[in-house]
């Protein structure tokens, strides 16, 4: 029997977040944002179908938090948070999360999905543009440090 190449050991799985994932999620959040969500912000989304994690070789490599709410009689999907561990970036993890999340939001009735992104966050804007999100408007002073947000939206089939 031949020894498999290292990458063949790297099993990738995407699944709903569980309580046991939260410490790893918060660690990635802290490594990713100047104003990170606290533990209890993630705790509130446990059980929400749009809170997903990606495991790579048994370690949490990234997560997404999204939900669907009724806005003026229409179901609106909202991507609230997404981050990938710095060691796992540029490997398609966020794309995997976004793709699965859009499917979950569609199953839960979303016709449109929106998100906010920092005006300066070119990596994230490029990711979203690749997924068909278009800039809709700018919200000045959206973030605690005074930076504006760009609201981006896309239709869901």
Token pair listed for 95: 């794309």
Cα separation, 126 vs 124, in Å, equals: 5
- The single residue among 12, 16, 24, 32 that binds ligand COA, judged by CB under 6 A, is 32
Q: How far apart are the C-alpha atoms of 114 and 8, rounded to whole Å? A: 36
Residue 112 is a binding residue for ligand COA (CB under 6 A): no
Residue 72, Ramachandran bin (φ over 0: left; ψ between -120 and 50: alpha; else beta):
left
For ligand COA, which is the closer residue by CB, 106 or 151? Answer: 151
Q: Is 99 among the residues that bind ligand COA (CB under 6 A)?
A: no
Smaller CB distance to ligand COA: residue 110 or 117? 117
Binding of ligand COA at residue 65 (CB under 6 A)? no
82 binding ligand COA? (CB under 6 A): yes
Q: H/E element holding 24? A: helix 22-32
Q: CB 148 → ligand COA: shortest distance, Å? A: 13
106 contributes a contact to ligand COA by CB under 6 A: no
Token digits for 90? 């540029």
User: Which residue, 108 or 118, has its beta carbon nearer to ligand COA?
Assistant: 118
72 burial level (CB within 10 Å; 0-12, 13-18, 19+): exposed
Q: List residues near ligand COA by CB under 6 A.
A: 32, 82-84, 89-95, 117, 121, 123-124, 126-127, 130
């Amino acid at each position: 029997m031949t020894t498999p190449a290292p990458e063949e050991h790297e099993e990738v799985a995407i699944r709903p977040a569980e309580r046991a994932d939260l410490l790893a999620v918060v660690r990635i959040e802290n490594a990713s944002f100047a104003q990170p969500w606290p533990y209890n912000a993630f705790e509130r989304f446990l059980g929400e179908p749009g809170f997903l994690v990606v495991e790579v070789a048994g370690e949490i490599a990234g997560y997404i938090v999204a939900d669907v709410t009724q806005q003026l009689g229409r179901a609106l999907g909202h991507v609230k948070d997404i981050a990938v561990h710095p060691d796992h970036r540029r490997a398609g993890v966020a794309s995997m999360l976004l793709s699965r999340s859009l499917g979950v939001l569609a199953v839960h009735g979303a016709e449109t999905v929106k998100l906010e992104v920092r005006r300066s966050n070119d990596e994230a804007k490029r990711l979203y543009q690749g997924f068909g999100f278009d800039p809709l408007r700018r919200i000045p002073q959206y973030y605690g440090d005074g930076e504006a947000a760009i609201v981006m939206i896309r239709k869901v089939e």
